[in-house]
Chain A
Amino acid sequence: MTDSGLTISVAPLVAKHPPMPGGRCMPYLLGVAVLLAIVGSLLLGAYPMPFDQAVTIVAHLAWPGPLPDDPSWNIKELTVIQTVRLPRVLVATLAGMGLGMAGAALQGVMRNPLVGPDLVGVTSGAAFGGVLAMLFGWPPIGVVGLAFVGGLLAMGLTFTLARLARNGGNGMALILAGVFIGAFFIALVGLVQFVAPDVKLPGMVYWLLGSFIGVDAQKVFMIAIPTLGGGAVLMLLRWRINLLSLGDLDAASLGVDVRWLRWLVIAVVSLIVAAQVSVAGVIGWVGLVVPHLARMLVGPDHRRLLPASALLGGLFVLGLDDVTRTIVRGELPVGVLSALVGTPFICFLFWKTQTKGWSDQ
């Protein structure tokens, strides 16, 4: 009997990463690295910021009290941290964390290490919502809101289409539905760009490329609530994702309600991805690349893989954003850089899996 589950790979595909010695403490090390990266990123930028100043200001912002009589920092430094760097650093970290764990969870429940969160159509739906709001001339919060609605709408349509398929419970129907719905929304994005007046077009294009420019405290909350809330659900379900990564029949025989649990995980993943796109545009490839890197560090068990992917994703996107705003002057969109870094990596994986084979079979 063959399993009814999906395989969209063209060769036998097993993500082979032997568990590394010390893999168990890796998530803790990554946690420390993320904290250090956040502090380090606050120091980077055109305005010079000493380490102790940055730490004192963040401490003051984290535990707000009355303004000290003679603070060691000046109001300009406070403004730089509070309104420019901290929101941006937090949004970049949260976006990376969300994409990393969304990718790891999705690869697990789809039983395929070569799928990414972009494949369930959410990214395209959110992109359409965002550009539509820009066409209407809505304020940034409106762009975020409509992008979010667009993402959820695309997800809903993908789910509905997949449910209509005869084997709607399996992952292949969902992936195909996601590809079709995604293509439709990409066409709608093109349509909006076509009818948009010249003055609005550059803003749309830049937003679609993915960037953390101009994020503020409001956007921090817009991304933090779905990412941390959805992330908490994924973390609680992380061992169940191991079970979902077996065949459907096999998982069902172990007492798992496969269909319901898979929909739940994908709904949470969609929520997280929609939140990311709505706040910072399309940052592709992170959700595909980061789980592979994390698997190399901690092995395939989702109990460790999910936290590691979240932290590594945060580190990855924060690092990319630091590069775009410091080394590459003129603010290269982070979505462009993530694709420039991510695609060669995926090509390497493709070469390894499809020409050499992951497995010795």
Chain B
Amino acid sequence: MNNTALAFDGLGHAYLPERWIFRGYRAAVTRGRVFALLGPNGRGKTTLLKILLGALQPSEGEIQVHGRIAFVPQLFQVSFDYSALDMVLMGRARKIGLFTQPVPADEEAALQALERFGMAHAAHRPFHEMSGGQRQLVIFARALVAEADILILDEPTSALDLKNQGIVLEWIAKLRDEGLTVLFTTHHPHHAHAVADDALLMFSERDYACGPVDEVLTEAHLLRLYGVPLRQVAFEYEGKALASLVPVHGSLRRLPVAG
């Protein structure tokens, strides 16, 4: 059985002739793993995501998708005040004919998906009035009713407070443990470090690093990626030895030095 959910080879894109955003990129996303996509603003994460979603034709290269993709956009804004249930129901689009309307079984499936994320009580609440974290869970529920195998999330934690960032990261890990493949973009290397198994770092047009997180999320790579030094900090929490990545900004507050 093919163990690859998503793969691309020799991938390149240029919006204008010979103005390459990236070129010659190659990576494979393994089924049932979390894959993080990192790069500074303007490096082409969005372009790569659009290509993977099939919304943009790459200028060159090959892509293979083995499974059904569901997309969770960043900063979800809707122009009309749909209820959470209406939003989740839209995940059924592939199952409902072009000229037909959802039936009660579809609504039932949508409600169950909301329940799965502990959001059934808010099914009829306007989506627009929900907190960023709640909205993200509603969109996760929508991906669930779409019966997707691959979840692509665009900066899923960008507009969330710390608590909601934690909830979303935990759900990413949980969905991975249930067999889903998750690919997400992020500006937070410590989030990639916390939940991702593999990562792709987009350094420049032709230069990238791809591999298991332990190998690619190194201090040297991250300095190259962002131009900001990051340090891996080890600590103990609730009896467990843990590590995280911390950026070292020039104006960081220094600890008072004893003596």
Contacts and interface: CB of A to CB of B under 8 A. Distances in A.
Interface stretch (B20-28, B73-81, B112-120): B73-81
A112 interface: yes
Nearest to A301: B86
A216 to B, nearest CB: 34
B94 interface: yes
Given A16-B128, A18-B126, A242-B90, A237 B81 contact: no
24 contacts: A1-B45, A1-B49, A1-B154, A14-B79, A17-B81, A19-B83, A108-B80, A111-B79, A239-B100, A245-B79, A249-B50, A249-B53, A250-B76, A252-B53, A252-B55, A253-B71, A254-B90, A254-B91, A254-B94, A255-B93, A299-B81, A301-B83, A301-B86, A359-B128
B36 to A, nearest CB: 15
A295 B46 CA distance: 34
A239 B86 CA distance: 10
Contact of B90 (A12, A237, A246, A249): A246
B109 interface: no
A124 B123 CA distance: 44
B53 A253 contact: yes
Max chain A Cβ within 10 angstroms of own Cβ: one of B53, B73, B154? B73
Interface string B50-91: 100111000000000000011101111111111100100011
Interface residues of A, number: 39
B166 interface: no
A249 B55 contact: yes
A19 B124 contact: yes
A15 interface: yes
A18 B74 contact: no
B73 A247 contact: yes
A186 B79 CA distance: 31
Contacts, number: 100
A12 B81 CA distance: 13
B55 A243 contact: no
Interface string A6-43: 00000011111111000000000000000000000000
Contacts of B251: none
Nearest to B71: A253
Interface of B: 45-46, 49-50, 53-55, 69-71, 73-83, 86, 90-91, 93-94, 96, 98-102, 124, 126, 128, 146, 152, 154-155, 185
B32 to A, nearest CB: 21
A163 interface: no
A267 interface: no
A237 B97 CA distance: 10
Nearest to A110: B79
A3 B73 contact: yes
A219 interface: no
Please provide the 8 A-B residue pairs with the shortest distance between their CB atoms, ordered closest to farther. Answer: A253-B71, A300-B80, A255-B94, A1-B46, A236-B99, A254-B93, A111-B79, A1-B154
Nearest to A5: B79
A214 B240 CA distance: 86
Max chain A Cβ within 10 angstroms of own Cβ: one of B50, B75, B99? B99
Given A14-B79, A14-B128, 7 more contacts: A2-B46, A252-B53, A252-B54, A253-B69, A253-B152, A255-B94, A301-B82
A249 B98 CA distance: 18
Contacts of A19: 83, 124
Contacts of B54: 252
Contacts of B80: 14-15, 108, 113, 245, 295, 300
A303 interface: yes
Contacts of B77: 12, 14
Interface string A226-243: 000000000011111011
Given A236-B99, A240-B98, A16 B146 contact: no
B86 A242 contact: yes
A244 to B, nearest CB: 10
Given A14-B78, A253-B71, A239 B146 contact: no
Contacts of A111: 79
Contact of A1 (B70, B126, B155): B155
A14 B82 CA distance: 10
A256 interface: yes
